[in-house]
Chains A and B, each alone.
Chain A
């Protein structure tokens, strides 16, 4: 079985500052990979590269076996197969929750307005926001905004979901509702790559944890191994720093 996502030897420089120096990563269908690492270690950059929001400096990224880093592929076409949820939600403030979610099915999926909206209502119901369809983002709590953003990311029926620290802008009491939703998505078989600072959650949900350090995947494996029995001093140091705040 080919992996949904296969990242090999990916490098990314900003100017002459190397941020990613050769990332290798395999994500098989229905699994959850957690990216951990210090601030500035390149987690967001890697996710942006996978979604083609950044052009890689070198290396290859394959989605379902197709090389998406090939400049000949249609980037818009690739992005439709990948859902992204950002740390700061990035909902469209001038659209209701329903329009935020139905935008992609209408414009990209070419569904009729009524069909796109009924699909969006289904998705909003799935994230527990059936009653907020007509609310604008500034009337939603942080947790509700983030759940709307997740519904929006699911609207294209993506093969792969990228989550970039989706709970770190949330008040502690709102984190739970978003994490529960992600657990549900995993149970439904979604393939997920998520950057996170929630070690407890990574341990609970991830099939594989990757520690990004100095531009490479310094350590990776099942959570009990990487988080429970770290082999490198740098990872031990990182974990003791984050866990102290949990």
Chain B
């Protein structure tokens, strides 16, 4: 392993020009921080004054921001969120391989695979096209209505199936974009070594494709986290449903604020992780500078 020779900074005294440049940069950094802080404060102040002086503010404050309601609902909504998390984990664990398989199979050439490609194209078009909520109504209520005892009937299972169908189609497109982003010369290099299509896909194309699409996948994942809440329409007591139950009995909307805060807290790690992965990818691309 070669190590980069590090610049021997500090061993040589810096010139007056460089010292001046550094002083200027520090000053500029300090100034922009100050400007950002002041403008944020002013903006927040204006917003606060505007909201609290609205004619309905007292009413809004007691129905949306009631402290006692908050602490009363919090444990129930949090418990509901646990259901969301379980559905999320199971769904994503199925969605990832489904999406990757669909995307990979869509690239297989040859007449034998024509029907497979056709079916998968229809699958992606259909399930990306149907709004998730409509899918939940159709499958979530349609399947139990068939009355077949061997078919699943629980809201959690059917809701998870809908999430898998819908997000499987989204993930498949993300993976396909990743596959297409791998330069054809990589495929040529692998094939020229005598690897067949499947080996080339598995060992050369997919590993690079997956790496390339981690940020957009995480983006889809954040959106899935929120959409898990829609399974509440099938009667699953998730965070949204738990908040709704409290709301129906008290006519107070604070439980929804609790749910909103919990969903935000859930989304932040994924969002930061997506940012981190994206930054890392950009750094790599710049360092790699592939011809």
Contacts and interface: CB of A to CB of B under 8 A. Distances in A.
Interface in A118-159: 134-135, 137-139, 152-153, 155-156
Contact of B193 (A89, A108, A169): A108
A104 B189 contact: no
Contact of A156 (B194, B199, B211, B291): B194
A92 B194 contact: no
A53 interface: yes
A89 B208 contact: no
Chain B interface mostly: helix
A86 B194 contact: no
A210 interface: no
Contacts of B194: 76-77, 79-80, 104, 108, 156
A90 interface: yes
A169 B191 CA distance: 22
Given A93-B208, A93-B290, A94-B208, A53 B193 contact: no
A149 to B, nearest CB: 8
Contacts of A108: 193-195
A88 interface: yes
B191 A53 contact: yes
B11 interface: no
Nearest to B204: A92
Contacts of B289: 138
Q: How many of chain B's residues touch chain A, expressed as a range?
A: 20 to 34
Given A103-B203, A155-B193, A169-B291, A139 B188 contact: no
A90 B186 contact: yes
A92 B288 contact: no
A84 interface: yes
Given A88-B185, A89-B291, A76 B203 contact: no
B33 interface: no
Interface string A81-116: 011101011111110000000011001100000000
Given A90-B186, A92-B204, A93-B208, A104 B193 contact: yes
B192 interface: yes
Interface residues of A, number: 32
Nearest to A82: B192
Contact of B192 (A79, A88, A89, A93): A79
A142 to B, nearest CB: 8
A137 B290 CA distance: 9
B15 interface: no
Contacts of B207: 94
**A89, A90, A139: residue with the most chain B Cβ atoms closer than 10 Å:** A90
B2 interface: yes
B260 to A, nearest CB: 40
B151 interface: no
B185 A76 contact: no
B287 interface: yes
Given A76-B194, A79-B194, A104-B195, A92 B189 contact: yes
Nearest to A90: B189
Given A89-B291, A94-B207, A51 B186 contact: no
B188 A107 contact: no
A134 B1 contact: yes
B196 interface: yes
A157 B276 CA distance: 43
A117 to B, nearest CB: 15
A104 B199 CA distance: 10
A76 B287 contact: no
Nearest to A136: B288
A76 B196 CA distance: 6
Contact of A84 (B192, B287, B290, B291): B192
Nearest to B185: A90
A103 B193 contact: yes
Given A76-B196, A93-B290, A156-B194, A107 B208 contact: no
Contacts of B192: 51, 53, 79, 82-84, 153
A214 B185 CA distance: 26
A202 B265 CA distance: 66
Please name the 4 residue pairs, one residue from A and one from B, whose CB atoms are nearest each other, closest first. Answer: A80-B194, A90-B189, A138-B288, A84-B192
15 contacts: A48-B188, A53-B188, A77-B194, A84-B192, A86-B188, A90-B185, A92-B208, A93-B208, A93-B288, A93-B290, A94-B211, A104-B194, A104-B195, A153-B192, A153-B193
Given A135-B1, A139-B1, 11 more contacts: A53-B188, A79-B193, A88-B185, A89-B291, A90-B185, A93-B208, A93-B288, A104-B195, A107-B195, A138-B290, A155-B193
Interface of A: 48, 51, 53, 76-77, 79-80, 82-84, 86, 88-94, 103-104, 107-108, 134-135, 137-139, 152-153, 155-156, 169
Interface of B: 1-2, 185-186, 188-196, 199, 203-204, 207-208, 211, 284, 287-291
